[in-house]
Amino acid sequence: QAKNLFPYNIMLIGFMGCGKSTIAKYLSHILEMEDLETDDFIVKREDMTINEIFQRKGEEYFRKCESNALKELETRQGIIISCGGGMPMRDENVELMKKNGKIVLLTASPETVYDRVKYSNQRPLLNGNMNVEYISNLMEKRRSRYESVADIVVNTDQKPIHAIAEEVVSKL
Ligand code: S3P
């Protein structure tokens, strides 16, 4: 009965390993809202893994897929959308995202991110660059964009999932 507490979409953004997918699933459960990930959406559409898309078609192609995914989701309401880490880097995406819902930025230190993603081989930008320094540099390049797009910011370092989710909800 608690469905559609929020009359807008909740868009989770942030660097790889900041917990977007995990928090989206948790929020989906407690708010009884559907959640989806733009990465999953693209993987299904393209019938390739994220790695395969980057390898066979290149990053630019993937970025276009991301914009297309956002456009297709424009008509949806009351859902939680977990965005790939690079989504807010394109201006056209930012416009769509702002129209589409509340933007929640999840943050974490480079060390935390490294710990969370170090065994992942499904993050093409980090394949061969899996170290704190690389993560820290890329994060720094993206920081101001992430911050300028966000309506709400929640740090996820050393916090249990439920505490992060509760903090998000309290700020919505
Ligand atoms: C990317 C983040 C990934 C995925 C792709 C590119 C990025 O998603 O979209 O590998 O540019 O930051 P996650 O943030 O869910 O890892």
Q: What is the pTM of this model?
A: 0.95
- State if residue 14 touches ligand 1 by the CB under 6 angstroms criterion: no
| Residue 57, marked binder | no
| ipTM confidence score | 0.98
Full 3-state SS string of the chain: CCCCCCCCEEEEECCCCCCHHHHHHHHHHHHCCCEEEHHHHHHHHHCCCHHHHHHHHCHHHHHHHHHHHHHHHCCCCCCEEECCCCHHHCHHHHHHHHHHEEEEEEECCHHHHHHHHCCCCCCCCCCCCCCHHHHHHHHHHHHHHHHHHCCEEEECCCCCHHHHHHHHHHHC
Q: What is the pLDDT of residue 120?
A: 92
Is 90 annotated as contributing to ligand binding?
A: no
In contact, 110 and 65? CB cutoff 8 Å:
no
Cβ of 43 less than 6 Å from ligand 1? no
Averaged pLDDT in 10-residue chunks for the chain of 172 residues: 70 98 96 95 98 97 97 91 97 93 97 96 94 98 98 97 96 92
Is the CB of residue 125 below 6 angstroms from any atom belonging to ligand 1? yes
| 47 is annotated as contributing to ligand binding | no
Residue 86 CA to ligand 1 center (angstroms) comes to: 6
Please list, in sequence order, all residues whose beta carbon lies within 8 angstroms of the beta carbon of residue 45, skipping any fewer than 6 positions away.
65, 68, 69
The residue whose C-alpha atom lies closest to atom 2 belonging to ligand 1 is 85
**Domain extents in the chain:** 9-171
pLDDT of residue 5: 66
pLDDT digits (tens, 9 = 90+) for 59-77: 999 999 999 999 999 888 8
Q: What is the pLDDT of residue 6?
A: 74
Asked: is 9-171 a CATH 3.40.50.1370 domain? The reply is: no
* Confidence (pLDDT) at 29: 95
Q: Which pLDDT value is given to residue 84?
A: 97
Q: Is residue 65 annotated as involved in ligand binding?
A: no
- Cβ of 85 closer than 6 Å to ligand 1, yes or no, is yes
